[in-house]
Amino acid sequence: MKNIVLLASGSGSNAENIIKYFREKKISHNFHIITNKKDAFVLERAKNLNVSAEVITKKQNDEGILFDRINELKPDLIVLAGYLLLFPAQIVALYPNKIVNIHPALLPKFGGKGMYGGFVHDAVVANKETETGITIHFVSEHYDEGAVIFQAKTPVAEIDTALDVANKVHELEYEHFPKVIEKLLDD
């Protein structure tokens, strides 16, 4: 049984999908959810899933509270699933190759500060890309720059809207993110 800390800033559909994946496979890990937003829907999902969850705001994060909490939780893996704050360098330094993020595009394309959620898919459509995808990568002290663990692609049609692209990308995320996490936990 491993300790997995999931961080999400908003909806948390990936967090839910990851937890359900392991439950369906009857693999019992300890999950704990942290969000920086007190009204994030991920808190609702945590309640429904019966998973512990807490809010650590940006201010608390800056005060070192996230750092202390993560150390208390003794995570085997830290998973950023739609977490929009820059992850504290202090934590990154302590947990080399134990923090993973999912980015909804094919990095190094469409990454960096400000490139999140709908902005990524808007940019993909505006740029007339013919394909996009997901990147699962280790977290470094810079946005979207750690070593790539896994990528998967999906075609973008000329008529696709940013919402269509978002839906395709979410499908890839749901399919692959739990499997990549499972593999990392087994290594």
User: Catalytic site residues?
Assistant: 103
User: With contact defined as beta carbons under 8 Å apart, do 45 and 18 qualify?
Assistant: no
Q: Which residues pair with 65 in a beta bridge?
A: none
Position 81 contacts ligand GRF (CB under 6 A): yes
Q: Encode 104-123 in three state secondary structure.
A: CCCCCCCCCCCCCHHHHHHH
- The contacts of residue 158 (CB under 8 Å, 6+ apart) are 128
* 52 known member of a binding site: no
Q: Which is nearer to ligand GRF, 26 or 147 (CB)?
A: 147
Q: In the window 99-158, what residues touch ligand GRF (CB under 6 A)?
A: 102-104, 117
Q: Which is nearer to ligand GRF, 8 or 91 (CB)?
A: 8
Position 178 contacts ligand GRF (CB under 6 A): no
Q: How far is the CB of 11 from ligand GRF (least distance, A)?
A: 4
Position 173 contacts ligand GRF (CB under 6 A): yes
| Extended beta strands in the chain, E state | 3-7, 30-35, 52-55, 77-80, 99-103, 131-138, 148-155
- Give the interface with ligand GRF as residue ranges (CB under 6 A): 8, 10-14, 81-82, 102-104, 117, 173
Residues forming the annotated binding site? Answer: 12-14, 59, 101
